[in-house]
Amino acid sequence: MTAQTLLTTTPAQVQVRPRRRFGRRGGEDRPSWRTTTVLLVCAVAVFLPLYATLTMAFKTTAQTVDGQVFSLPAPFSVDGFVEAWKLTNFPRGFAISVFVTAVTVVGTVLLASFAAYAIARNWDRSFFRWSFFYLLAAMFLPFPVLALSQVKLTGMVGLANPVGVALLHVMFQLSFSVLLFTAFIRGLPEELEESARLDGATTWMVFRHIVFPMMAPMSATVAIFAFLASWNDFMMPSLITADSTLQTLPVLQSVFQTQFSSNYNVAFASYLMAMAPAIIVYLFTQRWVMAGVTQGAIK
Amino acid sequence: MVTAAATRPGSRDVAAPTPLRMRRAKVPRTFYLFLLPTLVLFTLAITLPAVMGITLSFTDSVGFGEFQFTGLTNYIALFSDPAIRSSYLFTIGFALVTVLVVNLVAFLLAVGLTAKIRAKIALRAVFVLPMVISGIVIAYVFNFLFSNSLPQLGQAVGISALEQSLLANPDLAWITIVIVTAWQAIPSALLIYIAGILSIPGEVYEAASMDGATAARRLVSITLPLVAGYVVINLVIGFKNFLNAYDIIVGLTNGGPGTATRSVAMTIFSGFTGGDYAYQMANATIFFLIAVVLAVIQLRLNRGRSAF
C-alpha cells in the first residue's frame, strides 16, 4: 500500500495545479503521511552519526568512558572543545583550511570562467575546441594515478605546502568547472556581446561587465563544488604538504587515532569543529548544491 | 592554422565592425590570454606528472637518484604479485557492491522524495546533507560507532556476530566501508534520480492509470525505463569514484585487518615508503588505463544527452 501511494503520486510533481481535481482517486492528491513517515525513519540513518558526534562532543571525558554515544551529556561540558582547540592548534588549522579553500574557490571560478568563455566563443577554431577536450580529459584522471609524480614535482619546486595543495585542487576542479561554464555560456545570447563590441568594448570589458555577471548562477555552483572538494579533502593535503604543522583540518583529525585515543570527547569536539563550516555553508546554499549535482552529471 | 590566426598582424582586441559571421573574423588576443594560463598550469600540474609517471613505470627508479630502463619488468611483476591482485579484487568488488547499494537506496529515496509528501524540501535537504561532510572525519565517527556502539548493541540484543567489532574482522570489515561510503555517496545519486523522475511527463502516468496499470507495473514499465539513462550514468560515475576509495578506508580500517581492505589507491601510495616507487608507478598506470576505459564509456553514454 505504501508503495502504491508513493508511486501513483509521483507524476503530480510535474502537473499543473488545477489538474489535480481530475485525479481518479481523491486520496492520491493529499500528501502521503505514510511515505513521509518511511522517509523520516530513513532520515534517522543520516542523523545517527551526526547526533553521536554532538552528544560525545559535549560530554566530559569521564562521561564518554562507558561508550554510550546516544545518551545525552549530563552535565553539558565544553571541555572537549577547549582541549581540542589547543591540541590540534585549531586556529592555525582553520586558517590553513580557509586559505586553501579560498584560493581553490577563487582560482577555479576565475580560471575556469576565463577558459570557458574563450572556448565557447571560439568553438569553430580547432585550437579552442581541442583545448576543451584536453582540459576535459583530466575529469577522468583520478588523483591516485598522478599522486606519486605530483608529490615529487611539488617537492622539487617548493610547493609541498598549502599553496601547492590549493593549486592542485584548482587543477582537479578545472575539467568539471570548464564543462559547466562552457555549456552555460553557449546558452547565452551573443547579440548583447556583439552590440557592446560594436560600441567599442574590448573583449575583457565584455567579459567583465556582461558575461561574468550573467554567469553568476553557474559561478555559484562551481564555487560550492570547489569549496566542498577543497574543504573536505584528505588525500591531497596529507600527501602533498610535507610540514605537518601546515596541515588542513581534515588531516589534523588523525591525531586522535594514535595518541589521546581515550579522550573521545576531545576527538568528537574536534570532528565537529572540522565538519561545522561545511554544514553551515550547506544550510545557506542548498539550492545551488542540489542544482549543481544534476547539472554536472547530465550536462 | 590557429597559430596563423593568432599571429596575424593587426590582430586587435576590438573585433572588426563587420558582421562577425560574414567571414572568419580574427580571434581577439584576449581570448588567448584567457585560455593560455590555464593550459600552461594544467600541463605542468596534470599532464607532466602523468607523462613522468608513465615513463618512470618502465624504470627501476626508487624515487630519487639514478635509474635504468627495465622495459616491462614492473608490469610483469605486477601481474604475479598477490598483494596487487588482492587489492584490485578488493577494490573492484567493493566498488561493485557499493555502486549497487548506493543506486538501489538512492532510487527508492528519489521515488519517495518526488511523491506527494509532507516537508518535501526539508527532507531533500536532510538526505543531501552527508554529501558536504568530510569523508575522513565521518569515517572516524563511524569508526567509533562500529568499534563501541555496535558491539554494545550486539551484546544487548544477543547477536553474537556483532559482539565483536566488525572493523577487526578480516571477512566483514569491508561491509563497514560500504556502509560509510554509501552514506556519503547516496546524496549525489539521489539528486540525479530526482531530476530523472521529475523529467517524466505526468501524462504518461495518467494514461497508464487510465489503462489500469498498477503502481508496481508503473514503476517497472514507466519509471524505470524512462530513468534508465540516469541509472546508467549513476552506475558509471559511482563505480569510477568508488575505485578511488581512500579517505574512508583510512578512517575506518586503514587497510586492515592485515591487508584485507587495502584499496588500489593505498597500494599505490605505498610506493612513497616501500622503495618500489617505479613499481607502484606501473600499478598507477594500469589503474589509469582502467580509468580511461571507464571514461570512454561515460563519454559515449553522455553524448546522447548533451550539447556536445
Is B22 inside a domain boundary?
Answer: no
Residues of chain B neighbouring A15 (CB-CB closer than 8 A): 202
Using only C-alpha atoms, chain B has a radius of gyration, in whole angstroms, of 26
* B116 within a domain of the structure (yes/no): yes
Q: B213 in a domain, yes or no? A: yes
- Residues 228-257 on A with a CB inside 8 Å of B are 228, 231-235, 239, 250-251, 253-254, 256-257
Q: Are A260 and B155 in contact (CB under 8 A)?
A: no
DSSP state, residue A211:
I
CB contact at 8 A, B92 and B243: yes
- CA quadruple B130, B135, B140, B144: dihedral sign: positive
Query: Does a structural domain hold residue B70?
Result: no
Q: How far is CA B125 from CA A166, B3, B298, in A?
A: 29, 49, 28
Say how many domains are in chain B.
Answer: 1
Q: Look up residue B67 and give its amino acid.
A: F
**Could you tell me the pTM of the whole model?**
0.84
Q: Is residue B11 part of a domain?
A: no
Query: What is the span of the domain harbouring residue B205?
Result: 82-303
DSSP code string of B181-199: HHHHHHHHHHHHHHHHHHT
Domain A89-263+270-298 belongs in CATH node 1.10.10.10: no
Tell me the CATH number at B264: 1.10.3720.10
Q: How far apart are CA B258 and CA B267, in angstroms?
A: 13
Helix (H, G, I), strand (E, B) or coil at B59: strand
What pairs with residue B258 in β-bridges? Answer: none
Cβ-defined contact of A148 to B137 (cutoff 8 Å): no
CB contact under 8 A, A148 and B268: yes
Per-residue pLDDT of chain A (299 residues; tens, 9 = 90+): 333 333 333 333 443 444 444 444 444 567 788 888 889 998 999 999 999 999 988 988 888 777 777 888 888 888 889 888 998 899 999 999 999 999 999 999 999 999 999 999 999 999 999 999 999 888 778 888 888 889 989 999 999 999 999 999 999 999 889 988 998 999 888 888 889 989 988 989 999 999 999 999 889 889 988 999 999 999 999 999 988 889 999 999 988 887 556 688 889 999 999 999 999 999 988 887 887 777 766 55
Interface contact flag, B140 A174, Cβ < 8 Å:
no
Distance between CA A228 and CA A224 in Å, rounded?
A: 6
Identify the closest residue of chain A to B106 by CA–CA distance. Answer: A42
Angle at A154 between CA A153 and CA A156, to 5 degrees: 65
User: CB distance from A51 to chain B under 8 Å?
Assistant: no
pLDDT tens-digit profile of B115-155? 888 888 889 999 999 999 999 999 999 998 998 888 888 88
Report yes or no: B21 and A124 within 8 Å, Cβ to Cβ.
no
Q: Is A121 on the interface with B (CB under 8 A)?
A: yes
Are B41 and A152 an interchain contact pair (Cβ–Cβ within 8 Å)?
Answer: no
Residue keyed to cell 553568476: A216
The answer to whether position B59 is within a domain reads no
What residue spans define the domains of chain A? 1-29, 32-77, 89-263+270-298
pLDDT at residue B9 is higher than 70: no
Residue B50 lies in a domain: no
Residue B28 within any structural domain of the chain: no
pLDDT at position B1, please? 37
Alpha helix stretches (DSSP H) within chain A: 2-8, 33-57, 61-64, 79-87, 90-121, 126-137, 143-156, 162-186, 191-198, 203-206, 212-214, 216-232, 235-240, 249-252, 255-258, 264-298
ipTM: 0.84
